[in-house]
Every structure is written in C-alpha cells, then in structure tokens.
Structure 1
Amino acid sequence: MRKDALAGVATAAVVIPQSMAYATIAGLPVEVGLYTALVPLLVYALLGTSRALSVSTTSTLAALTGAAVATVPPDQAMAATTTLALLAGGLLLAAGVLRLGFLADFISHPVLAGFKAGTGLLIAAGQLGKVLGVEQTGDSFFAKTRSALSHLGDISWPTAALAAATVAGLFALKRTKIPGALVAVGAGIVVGAAGLLDVALTGTVPGGLPTPAAPDLGLIGPLLPAAAGIALMSFVESIAAGRAIAHSDEPEPNADRELIALGAANFAGGVFRSLPAGGGLSQTAVNDTAETKRAGALTALVTLATLLFLTSVFADLPQATLGALVLVSAVGLIQLEPFRQIGEIHRRGVALGLLTMLGVLTLGVLQGVLVGVLASMLSLVHALNHPQVTRLETGEIKVVGPLYFANVQRVKRRVLELDPEPVLDMSAVHGIDVTAALVLEELAPRMQGLNPQPRELLRRVQSRANAAANSRSTSK
C-alpha cells in the first residue's frame, strides 16, 4: 500500500496539471481536464488489466477532440465533448464485446510515428498565440503558424518571457525526479497572484464534483467519424503504453479486456463532462512504481481533493504557463529516432510516416490518420500484388508470397518469361485461391514443395479436370 500511495500521489502531480493544459488544446475550460483525471481514471482502476496504466487524457486525444469540437458552434462545445466521449466509449465497449482487439494492428509503426510528429507540430503551432500573447486563428498547422507570425508586432514580452522561463524549467527538470509540471504550475500561480507580470490569467475555476450531462442527440451523426478515430487512437495509445511499461514477469494487457475497460472509462467520463480518455506514456511511466491498480484510484482521490478544496488556487495561473506545458508536451511527440529506425529497415516506411505527418499538418489530425492508414493498406495491396519470383542457383524458379486472383496472372507471365518449361519451388507459397488454382493448373505437374492448402486445392482442380475429360470420353 505504501508503494501504491507514493505512486498515486506522484502520478497526480503529473496528471493534474497536464490534464488542465490538455483541456486547453481542445478549447475547453481547465476544469474539464480535472474531471478527466477523476472519473475515467477511477473506472479504469476498477476494470483495467494493466497494473500501471494511467488513464486520463493525452495530447493526441485532446487534439482530436479539439478538431471535432471546432466543427460545432462555440456554445455547443461542452455538449460536443460529452457526446464524443460517450460515442467513443460505446464504440470501444462494442469492439470489446466483439473481441476486436486486433484493430490496434491497423496503425502501423510508420503511421504512428508520422501521426505523433504531425500532431506534435500542430499542437505546438496552436500554442504560439498563448506563449507570445498574440491573437491567433486558423485550423491547419500552416494557417496557425502564419497567423501567429503575422502578429509578432503585437507580442506581449512579459507573456513571452514567462513562457520561455517555464519551458526552460520544464526541460531542466526532465533530468530529475521532480514533477516539472507541478513545479511550473506552482511557480506560475505565485507569479500571477503576486502580479509580478502583466499576463493573462486562467480566472475562476469551478470547484466541486462534476455534474452529469446528457449527449446532444443531434450531434451523434456529425461526430461519429471523429468518435471512431478517437476510440481507435485511445486504444492504440493505451495498449502501446501498457505493453511498454509491463515488466518481464507480468502479463501484457489483454487487448479485448482493455477495450471494455477503456470503453467504460470513456462512457462514464462522458456522463460526467470529461474529455475522451486514454492511457498516456508519461504519466504511466511515473506510475510504474505501483504494485497494484490501487495507485490509479489514489491518483483519482488526489484529483477529487483538488476539485473540492484547491480550484480557487488556479484562478491566478497564467495562460502562458499552460501554453508552455502544452508546448513541451507537443515537442516530446516530435521524434526523429523512430523515422531513423524505420529508415534503416525499409525506406518506404519513412515515406509512409512523412505522408501521414503531412496529412495531419494540412488536413487535420483525424484526416491525417486516415491518410496514413489508407496509404498503408495500398502499400500492402501493392506488395501482395507483386510477390517475389526469382531463379535459384539450382535452376528452379521460386515464388514467395500468397497467390490469388489479383496477382496470379502477373506471376505466371513472369515465371514463363524466366523459363518456358519451369520447375517451380512453391515452398514459400502458403495459400492460393480458386482463381490461382485454375490459372496454375497446367503448371501443377512442375511444382515442388507444395504446402498443404495449395496442394489440396490443386488436387481438386486436377480431379475436376480428369472427371470432365472422362465424361467427354464416355459421351464419345
């Protein structure tokens, strides 16, 4: 219990200020971030399968939420957030019941790397107005950046100085075990309360427990695609963080049960005005010292105490401090190392990651992910349609990969180009379909090393041909 208590309090020191900052990414009041660090976290602690996973919200989920909320009028922002969380929760629950945990595999490593880098740049661009104290408009990365730069003549130097000092402090504290986010918030509140700088403050933060809210039924249709993207990303980020932090002597999180736990966390969070929730790697890493899931419940209890007794303190928190917190978090998403590792294995993967990143920067977060997934699928189809056909030193021709209706004609032409009377090594062909079996029928006697499925299918084709020949002979 002692280890769980220490882990829970330490994680709260990270989660509470981060959640407040992430709420601003979505364009929502900071108390919504506190609600997200309470309800979803508590529900996951009861139902989740990962010992250390800390489920509140993440910068990427906040960005996805912000992109969706921006499509509705400002007075519907909170209703849209509630609807998104409930929809995402419902989709995750349904996926868990249907045992669709394998869907996480549809986000490839290159797409995830490009998505994170693009989202990091997009979030960072969106904070330029706050950290410089200037007006900012626009939706895309380029529009946000152009807007901020066009107002550089109006820069608020006290705001910029505070933001720069906060960023420098956060990077310096990263090398220590001190919770940099908590220190930054504390220092910012001192500066704001003392009136040392002429900067914009957060203002009144409502305290107390979150009250239940109903979804806006009229927004279900328009927000459903965004909710599906949020649900998928919540699951992908959570399962990745849970697997990364799992110790060698403990099982990895169960994907299908995680869908249920995350779905319940999002659904309950939506009822109580939370952002869509998922597991973040930064707070999960802090929570790794926990022995059991009780640590997550203790983090939620610290958040509850904050809501009940400490919200008045945040009124003097400068907006520049929150902007700096988000900026540092966004920069952490922009990593070149994954691209370098992918490039060492396959250059096409780097192109796929860069395409996803460009999609996020130009089209938006959800659209960028869809571009990456679509490009991944097209790349897979291209690879399947071009199986390797090579001549071995022994003179045999080897085919590598599955053969089906879309590639078998190309493979047959290539084989006959190499040798009009080939001897085929089929040991690397583990599956064929009916079309492939019919097309390759005349080459079947020249095949060696057939695997069970192709051998059985070709046998049936040959039996059919023999039966047809016998029938013709009998009729004559």
Structure 2
Amino acid sequence: MATWRRVRIAPEWLFRYEKPWARADVLAGLTAAAVVIPKALAYATIAGLPVQVGLYTACVPMLIYAFIGSSRPLSVSTTTTLAILAANALGLIVPSGDPAMLAAANATLTLLVGAMLVAAALLRLGFVANFISEPVLVGFKAGVAIVIVVDQLPKLFGIHFTKGSFFHNVGSFVAGLPHASASTVALAFLTLAALVLLERFTPRAPAPLLVVAAAIIAVAAFGLRAHGVETVGAVPAGLPSWTAPDLSLARKLWPDALGIALMSFTESIAAARAFSRNDEPMPDANRELLATGLANAGGALFGAMVAGGGTSQTAVNRQAGARTQLAGIVTAIIALAVMLMFAPLMALMPHATLAAVVVFYSVGLFSPAEFRAILKVRGTEFVWALTACAGVVLLGTLEGILVAIVVSLFALAHQASNPPVYALRRIPGTNVFRRASSRHPDDEAFPGLLLLRPEGRIFFANAQRVAEQIRPLVRESDARIVVLDLSRVFDVEYTALKMLIEAEQRFSANGMALWLAGLNPGVLATVRRSPLAATLGEARMFYNLEHVALKYQELVARGDALVSRR
C-alpha cells in the first residue's frame, strides 16, 4: 500500500511549481506535440489500428501520467517497440482486421498491460528492470528495428502481400518489387530525404510535423491518389468514445500483455533515468510502474493503444526546455485539438509518408556503435546482444523478449557461478597487494605463503567452482600456509562454509594451514557461527593482508615449523 500512499491528489511537481517554468513547459509541450502526434499516427498503423488511435494514445495516457508519474520530462504515448508487439498480438486475435473486434481486442490488451503494471507496482517489482542487461537490450532493440523496417517496406513501395514470417516477408517484398508504385516510392524517398535534411540542418524544427503537412498538401494539390498513392482515408473527428474490453480474450492475450508490460516499463524507466536532471527528484521505479499502469488502463477505456515512455520524444521534450509534466499536459491538449478540429486533414495523409516517418525513427534503434562498444569491452556480452537480436528477427517480438530475458538471466547466472580467484603479490615497498602477473615480475612473493583472493558472493551455485580454481593454485605453489583474502567477498553461504571446513581439514592432514583475512562484519559474523571459527580460532583470522604478512614474517624469524619446508 506504500505505493498508493505516495500518490497525492495533485502531483509533486505542482506543489513546487515556479512561475518562470511555465513558458519553457508550454514551448516544450508544443514542440514535443509536433513530434509525438505524427509518430503516434504512424505507430497506430504499425499496430494495424486506425490512425485516430494514435491521437487517443497521445492524449489520454499522457494526461494520466502527468498527474501520477515521477519523471518530469518523460513523454508517454507509444513507441515503435510497443507498436510492433501490439501488432503481433492483435494480428493473431483478429486476423480479419474487423474494426469492431479490433477495437475490443485492443482495449483488452491495453487494459491487461495496465493491470499487470499496477499489480507489479503494488508488489514493488520495480527492481525487475535491472534484470535485462544493457547488451541484451541493445540487441533486442536492434532486432525490433529490423522487423519494423521490413514491415514498413511494402508501404514505402506501394506493394501488397500477405504477411508471415520474417523471411517470408523479405521474399514477398523482393518478388513484388516489379509491381511497385513509382509515385509512392518517389514520395517515400522524398519524405526520408526531407527528414534527414531537417534533422541535419535544423535539429530543433518539428521535422515529422513538417513532412506530414507537406505530404498532405502535395496529395491535395497534385491529386497523388489518382497516381497510385494510398492515403489514410477518413479519420473520425471528435472525442474518443468509451471502448469496452472483451474479457473473454484475456486468456489468449495475457502472454503478449506480459511481454508488452515488461517492455513498456523497461523503456519508460530507461528514458526517465536517462533524461533526469541533477536538480530533480530521481524517477522511482515502483511509482513509474503505477503511473504507466494507470495510463494504460485509462487509455484502454478511451480507445488508446498500449503506451509507454518514448526515448526520442522524451529527448525532444527535454531539449525543448521541459521542466515539469505540464509540458506533457500541453502535448495532450494539442492532440485533443487535432481530434476536434483537424481530423479531416488526416484523411489526406499518405501511408508512404507515415511509413517513412516510422522507418526514419526506427532505424535509430539499431546502433552499430553500441555493438562495437560492447565487442570492444567484452566479446561474451556481444554474443548475448546478437542472440537477442536474432531472437526477435527469427522467432518474433514476444519470443524475442523471452529470449532476451533468458539470455540476461543466463548471463547473470554465468557471472555469479564463475567468481574470479587469483593469487596475490605485494608491490615492493608498499602494503598494496595485487594480482600476480608476468607484467610485474618484481612484485614480492612469500616463500611457503600463498595469498588468494576470490571476488563476489560465495554460495551453493559457485562454491564448487571456487574450490576448483583454488586447488591448482595450491598444488603449483608448494605453500605451507594458504591465505584467503575475503575483502572482496560480501557474503558467504552455508555451502561455501562447509567447503572451507573441508579444505581446512585437508590442509591440516597435509601439514598445511588455512588462514582467513579481510572479513567484513557480516562474513565474520557468519564464520563465527560455524564450526570453522572454533577450528581456526582468532589467531588465524586477520584484519587484512598486511597483518598476514607481519605474522608470517614473525613466524619465519622464530623458525616456526609451520613455515619450514619438510
């Protein structure tokens, strides 16, 4: 219930609003609307929904989030990823595309997404966002970009075919190229060229709005529909009507809704954190779950599609000067004005132009630079990114999410089950110990003393692996005393303690000794509660490696038998 208690009747930013922010918020909201509205219309077509659904999504969820969300600049409508996931789910449920059935299925899917996010907020599951690693998310987004571009190619070229798997769609597109509409291709590529030039030379200009307006004017002025250019068609004017979900579809839609909910939250919290300023409250993950959940649930009842925070539109909102969620309210009001006054103009909007807008902004999801950066740092994680990308392309978007989650969890399990263990030496003239390496041949070793440092938590899943790494180091060293420096170990579980007890018994049987050093208070308390403490006694547990070195040198000076070779 703590999550609910933090929701006030008025939002947090309103209590602390400063008058000078108003002009910046209004201008940012107007600028963001110029980007959000054309993209929302395009994303509705990706999902196979009527274009006016994009307007509803740019209005209702945006308003609800503004009064509940914790991120001041986050712009909440829909995104390319969510649109393609919705298309996958709705296409399976309503393959015929019947408008009434599609509206009910969309309302059900969006309501399920909202309910799942709200439930996750009540269960305080905000930490789940941290379970998808960045390389896997990079790969997933790249896969989504590829799927979206292939999905939009028919609209760019004026080609029609029955859609299927990724390779089927590619093959059908290539086969249909001889039947492409020259006028449609010309308009699509002029749109893309205009977007590139506007972004390159006037990055602050509302590029999507300008190209959409120009395309509408061109259709009306030159009669492009008579030359094969397909347009959106009639767009109903007026406020969105109440849309009742069909709960009988919930059983079929819940797996897709779960994947969409995960991606909505992941994208939203990532964008919220990325564009948060130092002088603003940090976005709260559980509050974001609640806000996006209610935004989806509310939007579902008024014809909106699945919603979430978009990175590109949030970037525009922030760069345009947004200080609070008032900017989002302004954007929603502009969307409402378009519904009421400018809907007839939407009928002339070419599908090719919308597809070009989608492709232009979707390509940014595929970032070769990010892949190169991952490869430069860690080849293994580069493979994870490629796996996630291939999962989306070859298996589908929902299955790609599952692949991404499985790969992330596998990566986590792999890292947790393989903690490093390495031998240490001392830098001459200091009390600093570092990993033994041929690059530092002058580092000091202590004959008969082996210093080992494991890192990370030692528990049942990796205790055996730690033991396997220690054994060869002990065999190669001919040491009489083995010291485990546990300063980098934050927790030791029962299985690991049992392993240490068994190791001490083997060492003792071979005339060797086990010492421990650098135990943090938690690990020390755990050791003292086990039989190992009685075996070692305080004499064989040390504050740090420097104390170990001093004790060892005392034993050597006394000629103690423990450090003498047999």
Aligned to 2:242: 212
Pick aligned residue for 2:311 from 253, 266, 281: 281
Pick aligned residue for 1:48 from 69, 78, 96: 69
User: Which range moved further: 51-60 or 246-255?
Assistant: 246-255
Aligned to 1:371: 403
Matched, 1:454 2:523: yes
Aligned to 1:469: none
Matched, 1:30 2:51: yes
Q: Compute the displacement of 1:12 (Å).
A: 1.1
Aligned to 1:340: 372
Aligned to 1:16: 37
Aligned to 2:132: 107
Q: What pairs with 1:440-451 in structure 2 (closer than 5 Å)?
A: 440-443=500-503, 445-451=514-520
Structure 1: stretches of 5+ with no match in the other structure = 467-476
Pick aligned residue for 2:120 from 89, 95, 100: 95
Q: What pairs with 1:121-160 in structure 2 (closer than 5 Å)?
A: 121-160=146-185
Specify the SS of the correspondent of 2:304.
Answer: coil
**Which deviations, in whole Å up to 9, do the C-alpha atoms of 1:376-412 show, x marking residues without a partner?**
2112212222221222234312222222222222322
Q: Compute the displacement of 1:464 (Å).
A: 9.9
Alpha carbons of 1:415 and 1:149: their partners in 2 closer, same or farther (altered >3 Å)? same
Aligned to 2:510: none
Structure 2: stretches of 5+ with no match in the other structure = 1-21, 426-444, 505-513, 536-566
Does structure 2 conserve the Cα–Cα contact (< 8 Å) formed by 1:441 and 1:461?
Answer: no
User: Which range moved further: 312-321 or 420-429?
Assistant: 420-429
Aligned to 1:179: 206
Does structure 2 conserve the Cα–Cα contact (< 8 Å) formed by 1:122 and 1:140?
Answer: no
Does structure 2 conserve the Cα–Cα contact (< 8 Å) formed by 1:384 and 1:407?
Answer: yes
| Backbone CA RMSD of aligned residues | 1.8
Aligned to 1:423: 483
User: Which range moved further: 393-402 or 343-352?
Assistant: 393-402
Distance, in Å, in 2 between the alignment partners of 1:222 and 1:48 is 30
Does structure 2 conserve the Cα–Cα contact (< 8 Å) formed by 1:137 and 1:143?
Answer: no
TM-score, normalised on structure 1?
0.94
Which amino acid in structure 2 is aligned with residue 379 of structure 1? A
Q: Compute the displacement of 1:127 (Å).
A: 0.6
Aligned to 1:438: 498
Specify the SS of the correspondent of 1:316.
Answer: coil
User: Which range moved further: 402-411 or 221-230?
Assistant: 402-411
Specify the SS of the correspondent of 1:396.
Answer: strand
Alpha carbons of 1:51 and 1:413: their partners in 2 closer, same or farther (altered >3 Å)? closer
Q: What pairs with 1:18-417 in structure 2 (closer than 5 Å)?
A: 18-73=39-94, 74-75=97-98, 76-175=101-200, 176=202, 177-197=204-224, 198=227, 199-288=229-318, 289-393=321-425, 394=445, 395-417=450-472
The ranges of structure 1 where at least 4 consecutive aligned residues each deviate by more than 4 angstroms after the TM superposition are 463-466
Higher helix share: 1
Distance, in Å, in 2 between the alignment partners of 1:258 and 1:410 is 39
Distance, in Å, in 2 between the alignment partners of 1:274 and 1:107 is 27
Distance, in Å, in 1 between the alignment partners of 2:469 and 2:383 is 28
Distance, in Å, in 2 between the alignment partners of 1:13 and 1:448 is 62
Q: State the aligned residue count.
A: 466
**Radius of gyration: which is bigger?**
2
Specify the SS of the correspondent of 1:446.
Answer: strand
Distance, in Å, in 2 between the alignment partners of 1:427 and 1:290 is 46
Distance, in Å, in 1 between the alignment partners of 2:499 and 2:490 is 17
Specify the SS of the correspondent of 1:297.
Answer: helix
Specify the SS of the correspondent of 1:423.
Answer: strand
Which amino acid in structure 2 is aligned with residue 452 of structure 1? P
Aligned to 2:14: none
Aligned to 2:552: none
Aligned to 1:471: none
User: Which range moved further: 381-390 or 80-89?
Assistant: 381-390
Distance, in Å, in 2 between the alignment partners of 1:124 and 1:270 is 27
Q: Compute the displacement of 1:35 (Å).
A: 0.6
